[in-house]
Amino acid sequence: MSQIDLKNCTFTLSDGSATAKTFEIKIGEGNLTWTVARNIEYTLDRGDFDEVREGDKVPMDVSFDFVWEYLKPTSSEDTIEGGIKGGTYVNPGWVSSDADACRPYAVDIIVENDPGACGDTETYTFNDFRFESLAHDMRAGTVSCTGKCNSAEPTITRVV
């Protein structure tokens, strides 16, 4: 399991349209965790392991919970719930980030971590995130969500 401390990070939800709709959230404190899972295939030869090979990749589990400092949607009609859930919760301009129309609504999650003092910036991209559970409290400024990504691990970009 991997984890990012979201303190002072920028957390962005992005759809898959040509002019991407985004919902940017400045985090006060929180965490994002993910689990990379791979199927492993073992071949036995006379009771001993003869071969171990990596099997098909499986979607990763992702969960996040945070308290935000401010929200910056593309449109004043956009909501956190709409950005994550899609469907009737979302402003009609948003589309799924998954190109396959037969699969459920998905959104890309982009986390930019800029610790400031050392000058290194890390960007984590979780493609095609589909929520499984979502709880949020607008008055308290909290969000807690779990789901799966249609990829085996996040894309990580570091700028030094």
Sorted by where each starts, the structural domains of the chain and their CATH numbers stand as 2-159 (2.40.30)
* pLDDT over threshold 70, residue 56: no
Task: Kindly give, in sequence order, each residue whose CB lies less than 8 Å from that of residue 61, ignoring residues fewer than 6 positions away.
Answer: 34, 35, 37, 146, 147, 148
Contact criterion met (CB below 8 Å) for 107 and 125: no
Buried b (16+ CB within 10 A) or exposed e, 11-44: bbbbbbeeeebbbbbebbebebebeeeeeeeeee
Question: Among 72, 71, 67, which Cα is nearest to 142's?
Answer: 67
Paired sense of beta strands 22-35 and 142-149, if any: unpaired
* pLDDT over threshold 90, residue 91: no
Best-predicted range by mean pLDDT (71-75, 142-146, 152-156):
142-146
What confidence score (pLDDT) does residue 55 get?
A: 63
Q: What is the mean pLDDT of residues 23-44?
A: 83
What confidence score (pLDDT) does residue 1 get?
A: 82
pTM, 2 dp: 0.83
